[in-house]
Amino acid sequence: MIERVLPNALLRTLTQVEHDAYRSPFLDKEAREPLFRVPNELTIEGKRADVWEIWERFYKWLLRNEVPKLLFWAKPGRLVTEEQAAWYLERLKNVKGVCVGVGLHFLEEDHPRRLGTEISR
| Per-residue pLDDT tens digits for 54-85 | 989 999 999 999 999 999 999 999 989 999 99
pLDDT for res 1: 86
Q: List, in sequence order, every beta strand (DSSP E) within 56-107.
A: 69-76, 95-103
pLDDT surpasses 80 at 11: yes
Secondary structure (3-state) at 9 = coil
pLDDT for res 116: 97
pLDDT for res 102: 97
pLDDT for res 49: 86
Give the dihedral of Cα atoms 24, 28, 33, 39; nearest 10 deg. 50
pLDDT for res 39: 80
pLDDT for res 78: 92
For residue 42, give the amino acid letter. L
pLDDT surpasses 90 at 100: yes
